[in-house]
Amino acid sequence: MTDDYEHYEAVVVGAGPGGAAAAATLARNGIETLVLERGVDAGSKNVSGGLLYAEESSPYTIDDLFPGFREEASDREVTEHYIHNIAGRNVKTFDLHDLHHHDTEWADSVLRRKMDSWLAREVHEMTRETGGGLLTEVRVNGLLREGAEIVGVTLDELDPIKADVIIGADGVNSELARDAGLMDWEEPDEWFQGVKAVAQMPEGAIEERFDVDEDEGVAHLFSGDLFENVRGGGFLYTNDQSLSIGTVFHLDSIADQRAEPQELLDNLLTHPLLADWIGDEYTELEYSAKLVPDSKKVAHPSPYRDRLLLVGDAAGQMQAQGPIIKGMNHAVTAGALAAEAFVDAKSRGDTSAAGERYVTKLENEGVMDKLRPTRYRTLGRLGEVGPVASAMNAVTDSVVGRTAISALGDRAESLFNSPFLMGMLPDTRMGYVTVPTVVAEQLGSPVEGESTVEPPELDDRIGDLTYDVDEGNPHIELRDNSFAASGTAVTACPVSAKDFGGGCYRDEYVGSNGTEEHVVSLDTQPCVECGTCAVVADTNWTHPRGGKGVEYEQG
Amino acid sequence: MPEIDPTDHEIAELGPKIKDVDDADELREMLELEESGEDRAPVKTLIESRIEKLEEEDEEVDPSSADLDDMTVADIANLVRDVDDVTVLEDMLEREQAGQDRKTAKGQIEDRIESIEGSEDEAGEELEYVPPEEKHPDLDHPTNDKQWVENIDGGTYRDMWVYCETQHGELIDVSREMLGKARELMDDYNDRYGVSDEVGGSEDSSSGGDEDGNPEDVVAVLIGDGASDLTEEVIAYGADRVVYHEDDRLERFRHEPYTEIFCSMARAGGQVADEDHEDVEWKEYDEPRYTVFPATNNGRDLSALVQGELDSGLASDCSGLYIEEAMISNPAKTGKPGDSKEFDRILHMKRPDFSGFEYSTILCIDKPFRDFHPQGASVIPGSFEIPEADPEREGEVIDFDMDLNDDWFQVEVTDFDTLDSGIDLTGHDVIVAMGRGIGDAPTEGIELGLDLVDAFDDAAFGLSRGVITSSYDFDGHVEQYIGEDRQIGESGQVVEPDVYIAAGISGAIQHKVGMDESDTIIAINTDPDADISGFSDYYIEGDLFEVLPRLTEAVESGELAAAVAEASDD
């Protein structure tokens, strides 16, 4: 009796920037819009590195859609941007000014709990005018179908809801995208994993230590040998009263090298280069993690099915432009375009055409080309093919390569600032490790000082997080608990570690009388819902029910 | 040129802008600009619908000349709303009679005439009561079988009644919370509503309360097989009076008898009392002024039935209550369109909306010829603080005598499951808890822990979460001890025994919060840096497989008890 289900013109799943942008645009056009958010508060489930860009070429920016956004919801405007190439103590710093400002109207540091909860209040006000509103603690768990056609959503807490359009803005681990067959969790090389610590700063310390005004901020990026050959890099952004310090790695690299993400983050936190910025007192407010889609590989060229339109991370819309990662701005654009597509389709009397129109808009507005640059498709991929990659790597590290880089000198800085080159770089060890390391060794100079930072142990990091555990309802199920199938999660999971019993994944030997089996066990209590184990282990992965699980205060 | 050139703007910006344009011609110019420019379909729709709306507003229909035959009844209803001239209306009525002669259309016009003529009358004219079956002779009257529907008008109401739900013969927390809140509300009520000079009232001018200046009470209602055992407790939590009914058949909640009993109590001594309770010593009023129920499964069930039976309303799942005046202009309540009237002593019942962003405040107010009392709410558990019990408090206890009709027990409970209440680890002298240190030989580790438990007179066996969620392969004879009901910590039980022995537990914060109030903590761990070393009184660095047997031996020979007793005396 699906006819009895409640119906809205539009249902938006997820109250992040993509969902908020979609809902705001729908509401402005008088579309009856219901927004569903599984967290206790919007932002309580959301993490980002922390830089939100507004691009000049973009048809929508967040402050267009939400006047007052920058005053109320973001932290500092990032006015300076550097990358540090590190080899041991040797550091060579390049100013990324040109790359940072390329097509940039502004870029602000943000903390997602503050940002998303502000957006959600705005969205609630706007959508309730249309007869809808925003509900928190409600988890959409799948798609409602009539025959084969998607007509609505199913929920843990409520009866199914039908809609003329469903905006799937439910994040990187989108259950809707997976239900619709538009995304999967199969290949680790399609994902990055980000881990972040938010560190408290005394009043006035940011202005003093980073030499900025009260409303200005700095972004620092880090690459080189401080991450033990794992492909990726680090970042440090200044918030109003805290620092966001984190690392982002290719998930396949983390998995293959059995790397412990929290230790790689600690390598960054304790590097002497950061000692003066962090200061003598290191107070970690929050430890967090998230998966990041590699849009070059997974940005869906046609992110819709029937009435379901995916936006943001759910559609893989996350651009790594060399060292600069842009995600939230694309989610905002895509959200607004998806809404616009529905409004157009409705005014033409055929709401079922919304998906096609959305795809056309993504192409026409240039979003798709940013996410999947043509030049990467032709050149970059080639560079990742095994023999080519190792040959390039060997050349760079050879005397010839070293001489070339020395000869380049400060001209290397301008190469790093080319958005064209950065979009083409293959994802190999060369770009992340070898080049920066050689640059630092040949061109850099040693940093003074010692770090006194003592990052918390993993059990304390977990202990400091807030959880509402859904007792008796673990949201992740291990399908195969053999170490061979799921053991990678013990190291790759950001809240698990080898020889640590308090994490999600623990390796154990069971059996007696000589036959011993190497297995893993899973406790979802400390889970931060990043989705890493969905990719690297054999699981049935879902989000916890509405309001349950981890609650980020910073995000 | 119009002020706004739509081609300069994004669609999202245009929505609100267009809404502010009130000139249809200007909008038409905008439309042209858009058509010759970007020609975006949604923009055109926006502008067109705005034009349509404005023109609709302009197309005022003149009621004295309108062709009623062309109009639907709804149109007529809208039209007459703005007509204040009775001659115009009477003219319309004639035209309708001459035309389609629709009864519903005539009704709309007649109602309007009536309401205008009514309001022109001098103030003070009494409304006349017309029973519903006379007023609407064509309707069925399903309300007929609600026998009390018209019986109370201008009744007397007093007190706040609190339904105190019990489980397994004990009050549940929300009952205590409601008693505390009721006490606070009625104390404030009695302070605030004193005797007005006009009425006179009681001699003691300091007293306050009802309209005659007599204080009103908190009345607790207890129904169940062991209700009499709890009367003192509910008084201690704030009741002035307890009315209870006890019967073995009421061991578990059955909504029919519970509803009958509650309603019989509520009506006793008043004008609608049942036969056996027309005169009771403890109550003279008709019905409670306020009722409060817990919004539990059973409380929701009972509250809906009771309030329905007493012909009032119910604000369900409330999280806030206060008593205040309310200024009401709804003619259904005031009896006169256009008049506002202040109602006092109104229970304001706040309930959260779905999203938690908004609250609705529900009021339950009498209307002419029909009272809506008791003003009733069900309350979400945890909304109010549990008050401090005052065992010295005194109150009146009423054993409510009543024959229970066998018909009320027709539903038979044939089978039921008790949710596994599990194992209670609290209240023991000693707890032995095991952690992942048993990993090398899990079964043996559990056995050693159980041996130590047996060595004490009163000890219980607990586990860290890490063991419960492990994939350890336990032998059958110890498997029964592995379960979430033995978990100690944040998501398990919180214990504070005299002695807590933690073997192979690292002491993560989630575990610590479940045990760190214990008097003496003894930890056994191979890792001297384990967190637990920081908050244990005795720290034994060693392998639990070696240490536990020796500890068991020491306890059995009495050495440990002596050592601990000595230590805790310090």
Q: Sketch the domain layout of chain B as residue ranges.
A: 6-58, 68-120, 157-195+207-319+373-402, 430-569
Verify whether the Cβ–Cβ distance B469 to A347 is below 8 Å.
no
Chain B closest-CA separation from residue A200 CA (Å):
21
Chain B closest-CA separation from residue A512 CA (Å):
9
Q: What percent of chain B has pLDDT over 90?
A: 51
Q: Which residues partner with A250 through β-bridges?
A: A192
CA-based max dimension of chain B = 111
Local confidence band at B36 (pLDDT 50, 70, 90 cut-offs): confident
Chain A closest-CA separation from residue B511 CA (Å):
10
CATH class, range B157-195+207-319+373-402: alpha beta
Which burial class, exposed, middle or buried, applies to A400 when counting CB atoms under 10 A from its CB (0-12, 13-18, 19+)? Answer: exposed
Count Cα neighbours of A173 within 13 Å in the Cβ-side half-sphere: 23
Chain B closest-CA separation from residue A266 CA (Å):
19
| Predicted ipTM beyond 0.85 | no
Amino acid at B142: P
Verify whether the Cβ–Cβ distance B508 to A28 is below 8 Å.
no
Among candidates B10, B471, B506 on the partner chain, residue whose Cβ is nearest the Cβ of A521: B471
Local confidence band at A448 (pLDDT 50, 70, 90 cut-offs): confident
pLDDT at B117 over 80: no
Chain A contact set for B491 (CB, 8 A): 469, 471, 525
Chain B closest-CA separation from residue A163 CA (Å):
19
Instruction: Note whether B260 and B405 are within 8 A (CB).
Output: yes
Rg of chain B in Å (alpha carbons)? 36
> Roughly how many angstroms between the first and final C-alpha of chain B, as a whole number?
93
Q: What is the pLDDT of residue B86?
A: 82
pLDDT at B534 over 80: yes
As a whole number, mean pLDDT of residues A139-164 equals 95
Chain B closest-CA separation from residue A342 CA (Å):
10
Name the residue in chain B with its Cα closest to that of A346: B42
Q: Tell me, which fold does domain B430-569 have in CATH?
A: Rossmann fold (3.40.50)
B376-414 pLDDT tens trace: 999 999 999 999 999 999 999 999 999 999 999 988 888
Residues of chain B whose C-beta is under 8 A from some C-beta in A? Answer: 10-13, 15-16, 40-42, 44-46, 354-357, 435-436, 439, 443, 465-466, 469-473, 484, 490-491, 506, 508-510, 531
Residue A5 Cα distances to A143, A149, A445, B132, angstroms: 13, 16, 67, 35
Verify whether the Cβ–Cβ distance A136 to B355 is below 8 Å.
yes
A258-290 pLDDT tens trace: 999 999 999 999 999 999 999 999 999 999 999
Verify whether the Cβ–Cβ distance A510 to B471 is below 8 Å.
yes
pLDDT at B569 over 80: no
B9-23 pLDDT tens trace: 877 778 778 878 888
Local confidence band at A385 (pLDDT 50, 70, 90 cut-offs): low
As a whole number, mean pLDDT of residues B249-264 equals 94
Q: What is the pLDDT of residue B239?
A: 96
As a whole number, mean pLDDT of residues B347-366 equals 84
User: Average model confidence (pLDDT) for chain B?
Assistant: 86
Q: What is the pLDDT of residue B62?
A: 79
- Of the candidates B563, B551, B544, B552, which has an alpha carbon nearest to the alpha carbon of residue B506? B544
Instruction: Note whether B476 and B405 are within 8 A (CB).
Output: no
pLDDT at B65 over 90: no
- Which residue, chain included where needed, has tokens 């962003």? B357
Verify whether the Cβ–Cβ distance B355 to A134 is below 8 Å.
yes
Verify whether the Cβ–Cβ distance A501 to B436 is below 8 Å.
yes
Among candidates A135, A508, A520 on the partner chain, residue whose Cβ is nearest the Cβ of B354: A135
Verify whether the Cβ–Cβ distance B41 to A124 is below 8 Å.
no
| Fold: same for B157-195+207-319+373-402 and B430-569 | yes
Rg of chain A in Å (alpha carbons)? 23
Per-residue tokens: B298: 């059973």
- Which residue, chain included where needed, has tokens 């009856």? A32
Verify whether the Cβ–Cβ distance B11 to A469 is below 8 Å.
no
Q: Are strands A308-310 and A161-168 parallel, antiparallel or unpaired?
A: parallel
H helix or E strand, kind and range, residue B539: strand B538-541
Among candidates A25, A344, A502 on the partner chain, residue whose Cβ is nearest the Cβ of B41: A344
Chain B contact set for A8 (CB, 8 A): none
Verify whether the Cβ–Cβ distance B470 to A469 is below 8 Å.
no
Chain B interface test: which of A136, A525, A550 (most B C-beta within 10 Å): A525
Which burial class, exposed, middle or buried, applies to A154 when counting CB atoms under 10 A from its CB (0-12, 13-18, 19+)? Answer: middle
